[in-house]
Structure 1
């Protein structure tokens, strides 16, 4: 839940002008999807640092 909230805040922040902070009305929590199912067979598109 905390990760989804952080992603929603970040997504809202980059859509606002200047250095405005997002308000709860700017957040779109239903559009954030998190999962604990990591696709271990998925190839990386670039090397990890």
Structure 2
């Protein structure tokens, strides 16, 4: 390909499961403010069944 034939493209997207946040923006804010979002999975599962 020559320079005239090339086109630059960008594919931008993000998906995640974010602990302690409703989405990636809220999760990023937790991290920026130094909050720990790590949870014990067993305790989280037990709470969801109560």
Query: Normalization by structure 1: what TM-score?
Result: 0.27
Structure showing the higher helix proportion among its residues: 1
Higher relative contact order (CA 8 A, sep 6+): 1
Q: Mark the structure with the bigger radius of gyration.
A: 2
